[in-house]
Amino acid sequence: MVERALNPWTIFWSAALVVIFAELGCLARTSVLVMRYGRPWVVFAGTLVGTAIIMGTGILAGELLRRYLPEPLLRWAAGLFFLALGLLVLIGKLDG
């Protein structure tokens, strides 16, 4: 596989935007924690640590998959996974 030379800022902002959009749904839960405990900076620190742990796990898993599996296989597997999820939502086995 030939890797394209990407600007590090392009990669940085792509990752930042993915996380921002993915975490929009968590705003309500975070707001509830702040309302319950009244300690916004402590909640912020806790969510920062939790996000760092889960993102680090995802980054490590992605790097391992990238190293040991060919890219075409990963693309097909990801596509089939999302198709299966969509099908499960459509037939009512998962809440969308």
What was the pLDDT predicted at 93? 87
- For 11-27, the pLDDT digits (tens) are 899 989 988 888 887 88
pTM of full prediction above 0.75: no
Q: Mean pLDDT in the chain?
A: 89
Residues sharing a CB contact under 8 Å with residue 93, sequence separation 6 or more, in sequence order? none
Residues sharing a CB contact under 8 Å with residue 74, sequence separation 6 or more, in sequence order? 65, 66
- In this predicted structure, the answer to whether residue 73 has a pLDDT above a threshold of 90 is yes
**What is the token pair recorded at 54?**
């889960």
- In this predicted structure, the answer to whether residue 35 has a pLDDT above a threshold of 60 is yes
- In this predicted structure, the answer to whether residue 62 has a pLDDT above a threshold of 70 is yes
What was the pLDDT predicted at 24? 82
Residue type at 63? E
